[in-house]
Amino acid sequence: MLASWREQNFVVSVDTGLSHLTAALDRPNITLYGPTDPGLIGGYGKNQYTQQSHSGKLQDLDASLVNVSLIDNNLL
C-alpha cells in the first residue's frame, strides 16, 4: 500500500491511522472529520487539510466541499 501512495497526488481519508501515516510520509491529505475536533488530534505538517461536517456527523459532510478543497489546494 505504501508504494501505491507514492504514485498518488493526494489521499482523502477519515481520521484514522491512515491520515496520520500520510502526514508522517509527507503526502498531501484531506482528512474528513465528523464529531472529532481536528485541532486536538489532526495530522500535522505541510499539505495536511481538513474537512469537518457542520453537524458533527460524517454522513452529513458534503462531498462537493472535499472537491473544492482539492481544487483550492492545487491537488486536482
Q: How confident is the model at residue 71 (pLDDT cuts 50, 70, 90)?
A: very high
**What is the domain count for the chain?**
1
Q: Evaluate if residue 5 carries a pLDDT over 70.
A: no
What is the pTM (predicted TM-score) of this model?
0.83
What are the tens digits of pLDDT across the range 46-57? 889 999 998 999
Say how far apart CA 50 and CA 66 lie, in whole Å. 9
Residues with Cβ within 8 Å of 75's Cβ and at least 6 positions away in sequence, in order, are: 9, 10, 28, 30, 69
The CATH number assigned to the domain holding 57 equals 3.40.50.2000
What are the tens digits of pLDDT across the range 31-48? 999 998 888 877 778 889
Domain ranges, residue 22: 2-72
Q: How confident is the model at residue 1 (pLDDT cuts 50, 70, 90)?
A: low
DSSP 48: E
Assess contact for 52 and 33: CB atoms under 8 A. yes
DSSP 16: S
